[in-house]
Structure 1
Amino acid sequence: MSFRIRKLPLAAVVGVVAVAGVAGVAVAASPISGSDWPYDGAAKGQQYTLAAVGDIACEPADAENESNPASLKCGSADLGGYDAEYATARQTLGLHPDAVALLGDEQYQVGKLSDFEGSFEQAWGGLKFIERPAPGNHEYYSYTKKGDNEPAQNGTGYFGYFNGHDQNGTPNSQGQAGDDTATNQGWYSYNLGNWHVISLNVECNSAAFNNDCSTTGGGLLAQETRWLANDLKNNNEPCTVAYWHQPTFSATTDSTATVPASAPGAGGQEGGVADAWWQLLYSNHATLVLNGHEHAYARLRPMDPAGSYDPKHGIPEIIIGTGGEALDTLAVSNGVYANPNVVTGYDQGYGVMNLTLKPHGYSFTYKPALAGAGFGPSALDYSDSGSGSCQG
């Protein structure tokens, strides 16, 4: 692999219809002769652009959310707000992507359908036809922090928005976010050229999963894990990228006495259960893992399932939780990243990854589109870019 990093000093760093070329999705021929993107995806041959980001839209300050704390809504000085989510949407639009991998927490705080319609849709609705989402904790769990008290939606607003719904707001059982059934909560895969792309749902501590986070046995997460194993077994593409919300390896969680930041699950329970997925992906020579949840950008070295550096067979993890809602702080101790596998990180602004999928490899660039609150123009000087080869 080759990489180019344009870094801020460490002290500053810490301070739509269907997808053209996507297998299994019907693509109507363009009625416009010689039209530009988005209808020319098939003409790109074997190279595709995948935009990737998570943690996007603030909670709208509408009548339904009137009793919720103002600090958690669009307009709060502590959040990216509409400015940030519009900036990342414009940045994505400018990439002319063939598909957009949404890495969870598309809509805060609990992802009600009205919240999606009042915030996410306003900025990102023009890209909906090429969005390929994964859900996050804010689409499934209740939110009772910081004076809020909102019940869990268990994916209802998420599926209602991306899959469509009936006149009563009941989500369709199938759609671009995958199935919404008792046996499948929105995990699916698709192909872009030589690339097999997998979207997973790790929100297991929810009523929809019967609060069962075991990857073995008869629970829903165990069924998803068996589906993943079968999907990888039947995959004939040489390149594989998988994405879900909570990362297996953390960039913003400090080391503890029991779980070092470089250990599986340092970022939380869901990241821990995804260790079983990492093992499957590693055994099947996956190329990349993408995550959100941590509101920062971080690129980690190729790792084995234990979190050890493995330059030959390991999988790089890239966290892109800078879609617009808010920012976290990268974990650093004495000027060094708490997770030694973090190559570079950025927590001063909002931006989207541009991932170019090639026949036998990839290249990427990450640049911020908007500085976060309290950061000056120099926050936009950061960039990260590189390339790698497929292992399959």
Structure 2
Amino acid sequence: MRGKILRIVLSFVVLLMSSMPVPAQDGVGTGQADSSITIAVIGDLAGKKSSQQVSDLIIAQGSVKAVLIAGDTCNTAATPLGEYGKLYKGTYDRILSILYPCPGNHDKRSIPPFSGYCSFWKEKAHAPDMYYSFDLGGWHFVSLNSEAFHVKGKDESAANQIEWLRKDLAARPGAPVIAYWHRPLFSKAKHCGDGKMKPFWDVIHAHGPALVFNGHNHVYERYDPLDSEGKSAAAANGIQEFVIGPGSSPDKDGMLNTEPPVPAVFHDKALHVGFFTLAPDGGYKFTIKAITDGKIKEVDTGSGRLVPY
């Protein structure tokens, strides 16, 4: 009798457990793990050995849906078309289909300017303006041309880009935003920040919180959320800037000064690759990996969530 009762009780427990909802696995923010995507961020690419190590690391990561290049897609003394071919052969050409470039000052070093860049990247260059946007994983990505602010007589081109950016963001209300270009507004490394980038920040900050990726300085920097004046801002309405520039020739000079804004994390003397896992609801996690003498280590991790205005 007792055995029969025990079997009935066990059957009831099994039935009860099978009807209970299964807890979701950890995703990013409140998003489900299976709806998140992973992207990589690199910048300032040069040198076959460095390029081999960086591209190997991205491939080993697995399931990377996009690789954003924050300018200087060929960081050599001159950048005719042939230099891109030599650098990418056997390295970045293995992931060419998922590379999303933006131009840097080294990409300009051909005759006429940017001809090597535009010939190599073809439709991905988005010539002649060299800025564009796309959507992926519920996020809106904007690739901008910082060099438009450094070409004499091209003030109208820079102004047109700002107006395009304003309209582009307005057309995507509610989407979490990632913007990337070459020259950072804020930086404590050798080339410092570039105040000419403030119009980008003004437009993006007016639209809502965002992640911004830059290169130019061959270091890794992460800033806590800021407004376009460089003052601390709440995560709900600030821009978090990441400088991920050392795809080659890492800087070794350390921080220039400690005047605000100061990066929460500063790391040099290494190659760096940023990996970001993005959920459609604006949640994100990041891991920054450094390569020194062929050895890989994590130098920064974190998470957050963008809640558009």
Matches within 5 A, 1:167-316: 175-178=123-126, 180-181=127-128, 185-204=129-148, 209=151, 211-212=152-153, 214=155, 219-253=156-190, 266-267=192-193, 271-312=194-235, 313-316=237-240
- Aligned equivalent of 1:158: 117
Q: CA deviation at 1:286?
A: 3.3
Q: Deviations over 1:219-238 (max 9, x none)?
A: 11111111000001101343
Q: CA deviation at 1:339?
A: 4.4
Say if 1:339 and 1:252 are closer, same or farther in 2 by CA, change over 3 A. Answer: farther
- Aligned equivalent of 2:85: 117
Structure 1 residue 352 and structure 2 residue 273: aligned? yes
Amino acid at match of 2:50: A
Say if 1:203 and 1:293 are closer, same or farther in 2 by CA, change over 3 A. Answer: same
Taking the aligned partners of 1:351 and 1:371, their CA distance within structure 2 comes to: 12
- For the 8 Å contact 1:350–1:368, the answer to whether it is kept is yes
Q: Secondary structure at the match of 1:98?
A: strand
- For the 8 Å contact 1:195–1:237, the answer to whether it is kept is no
- For the 8 Å contact 2:186–2:261, the answer to whether it is kept is no
Taking the aligned partners of 1:290 and 1:253, their CA distance within structure 2 comes to: 17
Q: CA deviation at 1:315?
A: 0.7
Taking the aligned partners of 2:167 and 2:85, their CA distance within structure 1 comes to: 36
Q: CA deviation at 1:94?
A: 1.6
Say if 1:338 and 1:295 are closer, same or farther in 2 by CA, change over 3 A. Answer: farther
Amino acid at match of 1:94: A
Structure 2 unaligned runs (5+)? 1-32
Taking the aligned partners of 1:354 and 1:382, their CA distance within structure 2 comes to: 11
Query: In structure 1, which of residues 131, 134, 139 is the aligned counterpart of residue 102 of structure 2?
Result: 134
Q: Deviations over 1:286-319 (max 9, x none)?
A: 3200000000001011100100111242111000
Q: CA deviation at 1:45?
A: 5.4
- Aligned equivalent of 2:65: 98
- For the 8 Å contact 2:230–2:261, the answer to whether it is kept is no
Q: Secondary structure at the match of 1:104?
A: coil
Say if 1:238 and 1:321 are closer, same or farther in 2 by CA, change over 3 A. Answer: same
Which is helix-richer, 1 or 2? 2
Amino acid at match of 1:342: P
Q: Secondary structure at the match of 1:176?
A: helix
Q: CA deviation at 1:156?
A: 0.9
- Aligned equivalent of 1:370: 292
Matches within 5 A, 1:44-63: 46-57=35-46
Q: CA deviation at 1:338?
A: 4.5
Taking the aligned partners of 2:268 and 2:111, their CA distance within structure 1 comes to: 28
- Aligned equivalent of 2:5: none
Taking the aligned partners of 2:114 and 2:252, their CA distance within structure 1 comes to: 24
Structure 1 unaligned runs (5+)? 1-43, 58-80, 142-150, 164-174, 255-265
- What TM-score comes out, normalization by structure 2 length? 0.82
Q: Secondary structure at the match of 1:220?
A: helix
Taking the aligned partners of 2:99 and 2:243, their CA distance within structure 1 comes to: 18
Amino acid at match of 1:91: L
Larger Rg: 2
Q: CA deviation at 1:353?
A: 0.3
Amino acid at match of 1:250: S
Q: CA deviation at 1:157?
A: 0.8
Amino acid at match of 1:127: I
Q: What percentage of aligned pairs have identical amino acids?
A: 29
Amino acid at match of 2:83: D
Taking the aligned partners of 1:275 and 1:100, their CA distance within structure 2 comes to: 25
Q: CA deviation at 1:391?
A: 2.3
Q: Secondary structure at the match of 1:384?
A: strand
- For the 8 Å contact 2:250–2:268, the answer to whether it is kept is no
Q: CA deviation at 1:351?
A: 2.1
Q: Secondary structure at the match of 1:276?
A: helix
- What TM-score comes out, normalization by structure 1 length? 0.65
> Superposition RMSD on alpha carbons, in Å?
2.1
